[in-house]
Amino acid sequence: MDWVSLSLLCALALASADAATKAWLGALSAAELALVRLTLSGVLLAPLLADLPPLATLAPAFWGWLAALVPLEIAAMLLYMRAIRDHPLSLTLPYLAFTPVFVLLVAWLLLDETVSARGAFGVVLVVAGAWLLNVGHARARDWRSWLRPLGAILEQRGARLMLAVAAIYALTATLGKGAMQYLPPAQFGAFYFALLGVAALLVLALPRPRRLLALARHPWAVLAVAALTAVMVYTHFLAIAATEVAYMIALKRTSLLIGMLYGALCFGERGLRARLPAGVLMLAGAALVLQG
């Protein structure tokens, strides 16, 4: 498959995993959901580790990158699961478009990198989309109320959770780029999720083994979500290897729009006509930032 097909399949798998999590596993806690998305998907990806080079040959710097990545990734997954479990997909997923915006901020603060004109315009589009998602808080005849939609973001717990996820993903995207130089993309993805799965098992299941029993009550749903997540991971790294990272991530972010459609079609979330243009704006902005 070419990188475009792989990227779109990755987006579909991600959005489907989110919808399946919300539909079939909504009774589980965020920690239990994280075990599904990290540990079980890591198990399904384990066959890809057959050609992994001896771990002793990997540079110490590789383990340093992973030591920083793993706790951040687990924290992001816990917040992510809480957001999509408890709040509408159409009001939470679009805020993932802020990830590249936060990446620009991190690069500016840590590396003194400046923003191109295209990137700056992309930021404006992302913010405009966020404003449009909450436009109901503005009043046409009162110009002073036009900033209220942005303030309303902080009043929504789901939006705050997903903004935190976007900020963490901005850090992991930067750190992950450093770690990927030591292994081929497909092998890195499998090894990374296997390591995440073990870490999640130790941190989330070892202190409370009953969490694993909770998963056993929903075997087919758990397997479906883990399989969709595994497909997402596998296609993500295959597509990354075949093209520029920015192009792949821009296409993968179509998962935001697919997730919004799932919200309307599967969960009866209202306001799709008003929210979909906001999602398109945010997606276009994210694409411009990534390619800027």
Give pLDDT tens digits for 113-161: 677 788 888 888 888 888 777 766 555 455 455 566 677 677 889 999 9
pLDDT at 168: 94
Asked whether the beta carbons of 149 and 91 are under 8 A apart, the reply is no
pLDDT at 235: 93
Read off the pTM: 0.90
pLDDT at 148: 65
Full DSSP string of the chain? --HHHHHHHHHHHHHHHHHHHHHHSTTS-HHHHHIIIIIIHHHHHGGGGGGPPPGGGS-HHHHHHHHHHHHHHHHHHHHHHHHHHHS-HHHHGGGGGHHHHHHHHHHHHHH-PPPPHHHHHHHHHHHHHHHHHTGGG-BTTBGGGGGHHHHHHTT-HHHHHHHHHHHHHHHHHHHHHHHGGGS-HHHHHHHHHHHHHHHHIIIIISS-THHHHHHHTSHHHHHHHHHHHHHHHHHHHHHHHHS-HHHHHHHHTTHHHHHHHHHHHHH--S-HHHHHHHHHHHHHHHHHHHH-
Give pLDDT tens digits for 65-75: 999 999 999 99
Full DSSP string of 209-253? THHHHHHHTSHHHHHHHHHHHHHHHHHHHHHHHHS-HHHHHHHHT
pLDDT at 255: 93
Q: What are phi and psi of 232, to 5 degrees?
A: -60, -45
The sign of the torsion formed by the CA atoms of 33, 34, 37, 39 equals negative
pLDDT at 261: 93
pLDDT at 288: 87
* Regions in the chain scoring below 50 on pLDDT: 140, 143
Q: Roughly how many angstroms between the first and final C-alpha of the chain, as a whole number?
A: 27
